[in-house]
Amino acid sequence: MPDIAWINGVITSLDDARVSFLDRGFLFGDGVYDVLKMCNGRTFAVKEHLDRLDRSMEAIRIRPSWSRLELEEIIRDLAAKSELLDARIYIQVTRGAGPRKHEFSSGMTPTLAIFIVLQQPFPEEIRKAGVRAITVADERWAHPQIKSLNLLPNVLARQQAEESGAYEAILIRDGELVTECSSSNVFAVLNDTIVTPPTDGRILPGITRDLLLKAAREANYPVKEDYLALTELQSAAEIFVTNTGVEVLGVVELDGKPVGSGMPGRITGDLYRLFVSRWLNA
């Protein structure tokens, strides 16, 4: 079956899916989104992702016209119709369609759009070899804790990484403070301690980040949620990034210089295997 979409109750092929030109998501980026993953027919961390979607909607005052149970049923139904075992499920909620003006009325009906596509496995040769990263100034909008559709700064940072031959862009605030990446959270290993910036409103609270921290603590790894200075990141023994798509991915080069031995580190590998065992193969 081709990639399929669900738009306000209508199921179509992804190519035929349509929303109004006056939809505020299209006009303003006035909406939020989240992405789930299916592995071997099992949807990963549904509660955690939908909890975050709820928080994001509440933060920008979108009141859904559906219940959590209805949304879960829509996701299950779409996944079954797709007949896919390994898939990416994209959920987007906008404030809806209305007059083209900045202010919005409280009675608007949100647009709910979902699509499901095949998720190709991340190449093992890349995971084994590790990836390169660069640092760029964190110039995103003022509320990075909301998974908003206003992603232009993230797009530009990721494009800068792509044009530099790097996989990811690690964002630096005020020239010295490490926050996160264009589409993932960042971790460093300093003196055998796993360090990652805290969820204090200046980063997106990644689902994989949170689950990895939980698994690491349960396994008695030293963990610290605190901000990193750029100089600390540059001297880290290991750096890795996390998100739903790549799970745990080692960074072996930063701004043209090797990280540690220039290969994914021991703790990075241990945490990846722990994460897979704890959350994906459970």
pLDDT computed for residue 86 by the predictor: 93
pLDDT classification of 2: cutoffs 50, 70, 90: low
What is the average per-residue pLDDT within 221-233?
97
Distance, CA of 280 to CA of 282 (rounded, Å): 6
pTM of the model: 0.87
The backbone region for 262, taken as left when phi is positive above 0, alpha when psi lies in -120 to 50, beta otherwise, is left
Catalytic residue among 147, 214, 224, 257: 147
Task: Give residues with Cβ within 8 angstroms of 98, minimum separation 6.
Answer: 22, 24, 104, 105, 108
Asked if residue 224 has pLDDT above 90, the reply is: yes
Asked if residue 1 has pLDDT above 80, the reply is: no
What is the average per-residue pLDDT within 267-279?
94
pLDDT classification of 105: cutoffs 50, 70, 90: confident
What is the average per-residue pLDDT within 39-54?
94
CATH 3.30.470.10 at 4-118, yes or no: yes
- Look up 147 and say whether it is catalytic: yes
pLDDT computed for residue 273 by the predictor: 96
pLDDT computed for residue 14 by the predictor: 92
Structure tokens given for 118:
């095949």
What is the average per-residue pLDDT within 88-95?
96
- How far is CA 59 from each of CA 32, 95, 144, 166, 170, rounded to the nearest angstrom? 10, 12, 12, 33, 25
Asked if residue 93 has pLDDT above 70, the reply is: yes
DSSP 276: I
pLDDT computed for residue 222 by the predictor: 98
Q: In what order do the strands lie in the sheet with 10-13?
A: 10-13, 4-7, 111-118, 87-94, 31-39, 42-43
% pLDDT > 90, the chain? 85
Domain ranges of the chain: 4-118, 124-280
What is the average per-residue pLDDT within 30-45?
93
pLDDT computed for residue 107 by the predictor: 85
pLDDT computed for residue 248 by the predictor: 97
% pLDDT > 70, the chain? 99
Superfamily of domain 124-280: D-amino Acid Aminotransferase, subunit A, domain 2 (3.20.10.10)
